[in-house]
Structures are given as structure tokens and as C-alpha cells.
A and B are shown apart, each in its own frame.
Chain A
Amino acid sequence: MSEHVSPKSVYYSIFGALMVLTAITVFAAYVNLGNFNAPVAIGIATFKATLVVLFFMHVKYSSRLTKLVVATSLFFLFILLAETTMDYATRGLQGMLPPLQ
């Protein structure tokens, strides 16, 4: 339940943090990080999303049932993205393996 009323300063701080992180993500895109450009961009976006979910969407102060639903959505999103990606990313490998005896 969010009978909890956050102080306005919390909202302004979170907004400030989101702005700084947006600036960092744009800056990071112009720097050559090799294979790490995409993970950095996704990492920053996920950090921003976490701030929005916890503070703007009040999940930090929500019931455990609500938290469970939020975690469940992330779990199924993980299955959807990770397992399908693992399949597609490794399909070409089959030809490179030594033939089975």
C-alpha cells in the first residue's frame, strides 16, 4: 500500500538522477567501448527503470504481493529474451563442432 507519502525532495532527486543518467548514456554512446557499448547502454537504462519503478511507481512501499507480480513480469521477460537469444546466437556454432562419433 502506498499510504506512504514520499517527500517532494525524493521525486526531485530521482528526476535529477534520471537526467544525469540520460546524459551519461548519450555520452557513453560516443565513446568506443568495443563490445561493451550495448551492455553499458542496457545497464544504464535498467538502472533508470529501477529508479522509476521503485520511487515513481511506489513499488518500494508496496505490498509483498505487488512486489511479487513485478518480479514475475521480469522473470518471464528474462525467459523470453535470454532463452530465445541463446538459441539464435548459437545456431551457427553447430557446423563448427567436430562431428559426433
Chain B
Amino acid sequence: MSNAVAHADAHGHAVHHPKLQHHFDTMQQQKEASTLGMWLFLLTEVLFFGGLFLAYMLYRMWYFDAFAEASRDLDIQLGGFNTVVLILSSLTMALGVRAAQTNERKNTVFWLILTIFLGCVFLGVKYVEYSHKFEVGHVPGPNFHSDSVWAAQQQIFFSLYFTMTGLHALHMIIGVVLMSVITWMAYKGKFDSSYYTPVEMAGLYWHFVDLVWIYLFPLLYLVERHN
């Protein structure tokens, strides 16, 4: 940063914002570039999860009865609770970004810590759900157990369940680590209303992970509950 300032001075320009990299003209342009880059990354993430949703859709069309039956074995209360927790964490994330926009350092740290906490609650519930599946033999593989005539097709459902929720949980773990770093930076006073791009970009990632769950919950837990 001091280099950038020295560089600007050597050319006789006015001293600019310390966070402005020399290859950008303005802070606004720099932020626009970051936002664009983050959304391009999220585009690849959409297609990454899109492939899994595609596999899910096809198998669900072919083996609907097996999917409906296996879906009823998932705990709708835990799944619903996690949905609420994750949407709540998106709210606290949005309020954290807003606090950074309005120069409220303490509030930024508070909302980010709450976001991390809610993320951990989600992962904790996920752990409870996963261990239950190991206990009752709903993990695909040689130890899979089901009395259903659709046992083989149910394994496909649970394979997709573990792949999709597992990759989602991996994104959550990465999000919690990312958010811890951002929280530490916020605590150290690295952000203010003129520069809070990292908070906002981490927020975009966090909201994206929430988006994936918004689809996973009805698709996995609510296939056919009315029978």
C-alpha cells in the first residue's frame, strides 16, 4: 500500500486511497472488477451444482417411487430447522455487510460472528443427521440396509443425498473459515465505508451457499410427503 502511495506521489498525483491498487483508476472501478470476478466464480459454482441437480432430476424421473420412499426417511424437522438457521445466517451476513458500509466496526464483527455461529449450528445438525444414517444403515455401500423393494434404487437417492449435502457442507466449512478471516480483518479495523469489498465478496459466497440449500431442502426432504 505504501508503494502505491509512493508511486502516485512520484508521478505528481494526489495521494489516493491506500487500498487502491495501481492498475485501477478508481475505487469504484476496483470494486466493480472484484464483483465481476466473484460472480464469474459463482457462475462456475452454479454449473458445478447444476450437474448434480441434473443427475438428481433424471434418477428422480426414473425411480420416483423409490425417491419418495427414501425421502420420507429424512428428518423433516432437522432439515426444516437447518433451513431456518441458514436463511437466518444470510440475514446476519447481509446486516454485517451493511454495518461495514456504514462504518460500524463493532456491529460488523458482531454480525459476522453470529453468521459463523449459525454456520456451525447448521454443520452440527448435519453431523447429527449423518450419524443417524450410519446407525440405521442408510449409507450406500455394502452395509446399506432397507426392507423396501426399492432398496437398490434407494441407494441411488442416498448416494445423491450424501454427495449433494456433503459438497454443500464442504462449502459451508470453507465459508466458516473464510468468514473467520474476514471477521479478524474487520476486528483489526481493515474495513470502512470507503473499502469493504472483502466483506461483500465473502457475503456473496455465503449467500450462494444458502441458495443451494434453498433448492436442496425441498428436493431431498419433500419429494412426496402426502402419502
Contacts and interface: CB of A to CB of B under 8 A. Distances in A.
Contact of A44 (B39, B57, B80, B218): B218
Interface stretch (B82-90, B125-133, B150-158, B171-179): B82-90
A52 B84 CA distance: 14
Contact of A52 (B31, B207, B226, B227): B207
A44 to B, nearest CB: 7
Contacts of B39: 66, 69-70, 73
Nearest to B90: A56
Interface in B84-134: 84, 87-88, 90-91, 93-95, 98, 101-102
A77 B78 CA distance: 29
Contacts of B50: 76-77, 80-81
Given A22-B87, A29-B226, A32-B226, A73 B101 contact: no
Contacts of B181: none
A49 B36 CA distance: 20
A29 B58 contact: no
Interface residues of B, number: 49
A80 B43 contact: no
Q: Which of B39, B76, B101, B215 has the most CB of A within 10 A?
A: B39
A45 B84 contact: no
B10 interface: no
B21 interface: no
A4 to B, nearest CB: 9
Contacts of A62: 35
Contact of A73 (B42, B58, B90): B42
A8 B106 CA distance: 17
Contact of A69 (B40, B57, B76): B40
B32 interface: yes
A29 B221 CA distance: 9
A41 B95 contact: no
Nearest to A41: B218
A25 B218 CA distance: 7
A6 B98 contact: yes
8 contacts: A1-B31, A11-B98, A18-B87, A25-B218, A30-B225, A45-B219, A56-B91, A66-B35
